[in-house]
Chain A
Amino acid sequence: MIKFEETVLKNGLKIIVHEDTATTMAAVNILYKVGSRDEDIQQTGFAHLFEHFMFEGSKNIPEFDTPLQNAGGENNAFTSTDITNYYDILPANNLETAFWLESDRMLSLAFDEESLNTQKNVVMEEFKEHYINQPYGDVWHKMCALAYKVHPYQWPVIGLNLEHIEQVKMQSAKDFFFKYYRPNNAVLVVGGNVKANEVFALAEKWFGEIPSGEKITRNLPKEPIQNEERILEVKADVPVHSIYKAYKIGTRNSADFYATDLLRDILSNGDSSRLYRQLVKEEKLFSSISAYGTDSIDEGLLLVEGKLSKDISMDVAEKAIEKVLHEMTQEKISDDELEKVKNKIEAYMVFSEVNVLNRVMNLAYFEMLGNAADVNNEAEKYRAVTAEQMQAAAAKVFRKENCNTIRYFSNN
C-alpha cells in the first residue's frame, strides 16, 4: 500500500507526495505525457532526442546535472512510446535543489543551437550502439513496421533512421516544448523523507508561475484490426537462427489486460514457465526463449522471442512455439499454475515497492493512466483473474491472423 496526498496547481500541474521516513533520500519524478507516438512520421525519434535536450540548460540555469550532483543527487530519464519520464534522487534535506532545477526547465529551455547539435550526435551514437552495431540490432525496427501499418507505434522510440535525427531543427524543439512540456501535461511526484505540506509549498513557489499550455487532444490514427498472418524473412550475418512472434493485444485500459498479462507469465516467468521448460529443457529446440509485452497505452504487442538450438530448423522451432500457445487456447490453466503466476505478481509488486524511486515512478504512471490510487488496486485486479478469462484471452490473442512473425536466419 503506497500512501500519498495530492493537489493540483492553478496551472494544471498535478502534485503527489508520498511520505516515507525510513529513507534519508527524496525522489522527485516528473512525467510528461508525451512519447514517440506523438511524433510526425517525417521526424521520428524526436521525443527521445528532446529528452536529451532537456539536460542542456534552461532559461536561468546553464546546465542541469552539475547543480544536482553538487547537492549529492543523481538523475536520469527515459522516453517510451507514450511518456517521457525524468527523475532525481538526492538527500532529502536538499530537496529544494531539484525543485529549482526541474521548475526552471519546465519554465523554458535555453534552446542553445550548439547543444542541440551535440545531442543529435550523442543520440546518433546511441542509435548505432544499440540498433546497428549489434547482432539482431535491426529486428525491432522491422517488427514495428510489420505489426503496425498506420499507428505511430510503427517506428521505434529511437527513430526510424539516423537522418531523421540529423535533420531536426531548433524550431521543432521550441514548438514541441511549448506544446507538450507544460504543467497541465505533467505529473510531479515527490517521495521519501519529506512532508506533504512542505512539498506543496515548494511546488507552489517554484512551479506556480509557469503558464499553462493548450489542452492536448490526441487524434492518433487507429490501427485497423489485423486479419492476415504477416511473415518477414531476414537473412543476416548473425551466428544463430532467431524467431520473433508478435501478437496484437488490447489497450492498457482494456478489460482483459490483466488476464493477457498473466498469459505472458505462464509462458515465460521463471524456470518453471512453459516456454523454457518445454522448449529449452525438454525438447531442447531453443537455447533461449522469452515472452514479453510492450506495455503500451494503445493496442500493444505480446512477443515471443527465441534463439534456436544448433541444427534445429526454423520450421520445427516455429511449430513448437505455436503448439505451446495453442494449448493455452484449448486447455484451462490449472489452479496451481494460476496460483503460481498470481503469487509471482504479488511478490514482484511488493519488491518493486522496496525502492522509493520505484514507488514515485509508479504513482506518476498510474496518475497518467487516470488515477494514482489505482497503483494500490493492481494486486487485487491480478488476483481476480480466472482460468476461464485467461483461456478466453489466449483464444483472442494467439491466432495466426493476429500474428507478426520475423524469421531471422543466420547466413553463416
Chain B
Amino acid sequence: MNRQLAPEINLIDSITFPNVEQLKLDNGVPVYLLNEGVQDVVKIELMFKAGKWFESKNLIADFTNRMLREGTKNYSAKQIADTFDYYGANFNTSSGFETAGASLFSLTKHIDLLLPVFAEIFTESVFPENELNTILSNRTQRLSVDLKKNDFLANRDFLNALFGKNHPYGRVSEFEHFENIFVDDLKAFYKSYYSATNLTILVAGKFSPSLVEQLNKYFGSKNLLRDVPAAPIDYAIESSAERIHHTEKSDSVQSAIIIGNMSINKTHPDFLKLSVLNTVFGGYFGSRLMSNIREEKGYTYGIYSSFASYPHAGFIEIASEVGKDVRDATLKEIQHEINVLRTELIDEEELQVVKNYMSGKILRSIDGPLKFSETLKGLLIYNQDVSYIDQLLKTVREVTSDELLQLAQKYFDYDKMYKVTVG
C-alpha cells in the first residue's frame, strides 16, 4: 500500500434538498415546515422584522426582545421559566440588525403543552418594570466587563468608523443608553413590530402534521394583524474620514485587529463568486491569511476574513488578535496577501481545494432539519429560497481564476480599508 497516495475523492456535483413544505396560516403568516427528523424533537422559530433597523432609540429592539420572557398577561416571568424548564424546553431570544425573534426547542411530546405559553409571549407581553430594572442593571455590569476586552472594543470602533454613530449598524451601546430605556418604549416597539403582519414561522424536526392546526390556533388569527409602521428610509452612512484608529493599552499583551471597508451584500450579483474568493483569502482554516499569519509566522491563534452581509449594507472584515510586538508585522502581511490576491491568478490546485471544501460545507449546511432551518432562515431575510443554495453550488463549481482576479481588484483594496487596532 502506498501511503503517499491519497484515496480518490468523489466530487459533489448536485445536492438533494430535504423537503420544505411552505404554507400560510389563516391570517397569511408564512410557515416553513422541515419535517424530516429522526429524533423526536421540534424547534419552532418565530422571526419578526423587528431588529435594530426599526428602532428609533438605541437598544430598544434589543431590550424589547430580551424582555419577552419576563412576563405576559397570564404568566409571570417565574411561571414562564417554570413551564419551559419543567418540560425540559429551551427558549432563546435573539435580536439582530434586521430581524428579531425567538425559538423554542422541545421534545416533540411536550410541544402541545408549551405552545400556549410560547404563543402568549408574542401576543400578550407586558414588560414589567421591576424585571426591566433588573435586566438593565445586569446589562450595565456586563458592558463594564466587555469594555475591558480588546476584541469587543475593536469591533465597536470598527462599526463606528464604517457607519457613524447615527446609523443603526454603527450605533453601539453606551452606559447612558441604558438609563434611557423605559417600559413604554418597549411596549410601543412591541406593538408596532411583533405582530402577525411582520412574522415568519419555521418549524423543524419530527412532528405531527396536526402541529399546523395548533400554530393556526395561536398565531393564525386575523386579530393579530396590525399595521406595521412604514419602514425607515435608508439612514445616511457617515464613515469616518480617518482610516487608522488605534487605541493604546499599555497593559495588553495582545492587540485586537479589525480591518475592512464597505462592500456589497448578498443581493449583489458578484456576491456568490466573492464568497469563493473570500474563502481562498481568509474564510477557512486553510486560507491564505491563516496559512501565512498563523501556520507560518505563529503571530496569532486565529485570523479570519468575511463579507458581512445585511439587508441595508455589506462590508468586508478581517479580524484577529495578535501579539502586541507583531501588530505592525501582521498588518503588513495582510497588505501583502491582498496584493498577491490582486495581482496573481490563484493556482488551479488551491482553487480546487476551496471548491471542494465549500461544496462539503454546503452539504453540511442542509444536513438534518435543525441545521437546514438555520440555513433557510438566513435566506428568508433576503426573500431568497433554497434555489440560492443551488446557485451557490453552481458558482463554486464554475467560477474561474480569471474571474476571481477581477473581483479581487474590484473588492480588495488595502488603502481603502479602515484599520482598527486596540491593545
Contacts and interface: CB of A to CB of B under 8 A. Distances in A.
Contact of B301 (A122, A271, A336): A122
Contact of B367 (A23, A126, A277, A347): A23
B107 A89 contact: no
Which residue among B88, B90, B142, B301 has the maximum number of chain A CB atoms within 10 Å of its CB?
Answer: B88
Contacts of A134: 148-149
Interface string A254-292: 000000000000000111110001001100100110000
Interface in A107-140: 107, 117-126, 128-129, 132-135
Nearest to B91: A271
A238 interface: yes
Given A60-B4, A310-B137, A125 B301 contact: yes
A24 B321 CA distance: 36
B298 A346 contact: no
A73 B384 CA distance: 27
Nearest to A101: B6
A65 interface: yes
Contacts of B6: 61, 67, 97, 100
A22 B38 contact: yes
A23 B323 contact: no
Contacts of B142: 287-288
Contact of A91 (B89, B134, B284, B360): B360
A71 interface: yes
B17 to A, nearest CB: 11
A96 B5 CA distance: 12
A307 interface: yes
Contacts of B12: 72, 91
B40 A350 contact: yes
Contacts of B38: 20, 22, 354
Contact of A72 (B138, B286, B323, B360): B360
B84 to A, nearest CB: 7
Interface in A342-397: 343-348, 350-351, 353-355
Interface string B365-378: 00110110000000
A125 B298 contact: yes
A59 B77 CA distance: 59
Interface string B1-43: 1011011011010000000000000000000000011111100
A350 B137 contact: no
A331 interface: no
B145 A240 contact: yes
Which residue among A70, A120, A122, A205 has the maximum number of chain B CB atoms within 10 Å of its CB?
Answer: A70
Nearest to A75: B285
A69 interface: yes
A269 B107 CA distance: 17
Interface residues of A, number: 77
B99 to A, nearest CB: 23
B282 to A, nearest CB: 14
Contact of A270 (B84, B147, B148): B84
A129 B254 CA distance: 7
Contacts of B78: 272, 277, 281
A93 interface: yes
Contact of A284 (B134, B145, B297): B134
Nearest to A71: B9
A240 B131 CA distance: 21
Nearest to A99: B7
Contacts of B39: 350-351, 353-354
Which residue among B86, B106, B131, B294 has the maximum number of chain A CB atoms within 10 Å of its CB?
Answer: B86
A90 interface: yes
Contacts of A277: 78, 81
Given A24-B367, A117-B298, A343-B87, A310 B141 contact: yes
B134 A281 contact: yes
A229 interface: no
Contacts of B89: 347
B356 interface: yes
A100 B285 CA distance: 20
B207 interface: no
A61 B5 CA distance: 9
Nearest to B3: A60
A74 interface: yes
A309 interface: yes
Contact of A74 (B37, B131, B254, B364): B364
B360 A355 contact: no
B253 A133 contact: yes
A94 interface: yes
Contacts of A61: 3-4, 6
A100 B3 contact: yes
B82 interface: yes
Given A118-B295, A125-B323, A351 B41 contact: yes
Contacts of B107: 346-347, 350
A238 B90 CA distance: 32
B87 A270 contact: no
A327 interface: no
Contacts of B144: 239-240
B140 interface: yes
Contacts of A107: 3
A322 interface: no
Interface in A199-245: 205, 237-240
Nearest to B107: A347
B300 interface: yes
A253 interface: no
Nearest to B249: A133
29 contacts: A22-B36, A24-B363, A60-B3, A69-B284, A69-B357, A70-B352, A72-B363, A97-B6, A100-B6, A118-B296, A123-B301, A125-B300, A125-B322, A128-B253, A132-B253, A205-B1, A239-B147, A239-B148, A270-B81, A271-B80, A273-B85, A277-B81, A287-B140, A287-B142, A344-B88, A350-B40, A351-B105, A354-B39, A354-B370
Given A135-B145, A281-B134, 9 more contacts: A65-B286, A72-B357, A73-B357, A240-B144, A272-B78, A281-B77, A310-B140, A344-B85, A346-B88
5 closest A-B pairs by CB: A72-B360, A121-B298, A347-B88, A271-B81, A287-B141
